Amino acid sequence: MKQVAFIGLGVMGYPMAGHLSKAGYDVVVYNRTYAKAEQWCTEYQGRAERTPKEAAKGCDVVFMCVGNDQDVRSVVYGEQGVLAGLNKGAFLVDHTTASAELARELEQACQKQDIHFLDAPVSGGQAGAENGALTVMVGGAEQHVEAVRPVMEHFSKYIGWQGEVGTGQLAKMVNQICIAGVVQGLAEGMQFIEKSGLDAERVIQAISQGAAGSWQMENRWKTMSEGEYDFGFAVDWMRKDLGLALSEANNNGARLPLTALVDQFYGDVQAMGGNRWDTSSLLTRFIQRDK
């Protein structure tokens, strides 16, 4: 697999495509804003196309990383979509965090053209994408995952096969459910530290070595205490992801009371104008109420 395309050059896709270029692949990129694709080409070896169809032509693998279900459909279907350009036997890999329902829909569309589909949402945020250290949760035929694994390894630290198509998206929902609870707990802990007059650095240094330790604590307590919330994954996107999880829970009977509550808290942050703040901004709710 030497010729690949990357559809979507946002904060995640831009560096992910860059890793593939640096690894020696012939990379074709497409972005809704063509100027962004041109900018990518000034930084990396590759070429830009003006439609998903043209980007996909002749490629062994097409990777996608766009915003939501409708964004995926807009680049996959139609006369200028990815499926109009891919050859039989090619692979379509969707790194977008989307619904499991969409993943199953895309698999059926791909099967009609003898194209192999994988749903493969990622975790690790902008820093993980830039450092080539993402975690990928993949749904699809295991042999297809193994065929594409050597390519994905250039922007990943871990690639975990979950099962049939759709299970990658379901696993990502679990990821976001767990993160939501951890960030809310950290926000409450940081508020408690401040109200108690404790030294935050000393407390965090102590508790991070025990059962309370987490990635969020290690990487976000300091910036939270300083009111800095410009670290990639935005509240708007988290609410989109939690909405997917809550919708799926309605279908499968899972009960997610904490997730539903934290989703509402993120709604409070949005109402404060924090749509583009990162997910650690839950702390701002307490600060706002203290004013």
Name the β-bridge partners of 92: 62, 117
222 as an active site residue: the answer is no
Cα 274 to the chain's mean position, in Å? Answer: 19
For 225, counting Cβ atoms within 10 Å of its Cβ (0-12 exposed, 13-18 middle, 19+ buried), the class is middle
Nearest to 119 by CA among 145, 93, 144: 93
By DSSP bridging, strand 156-163 and strand 134-139 are parallel
* Catalytically annotated residue among 36, 53, 57, 172: 172
DSSP assignments along 199-222, one per residue: -HHHHHHHHTTTTT--HHHHHHHH
Distance CA 100, CA 173 (A): 10
Burial 140-166, CB ≥16 within 10 A → b, else e: bbeebbebbeebbebbbeebebbeebb
Which positions are catalytic?
A: 172
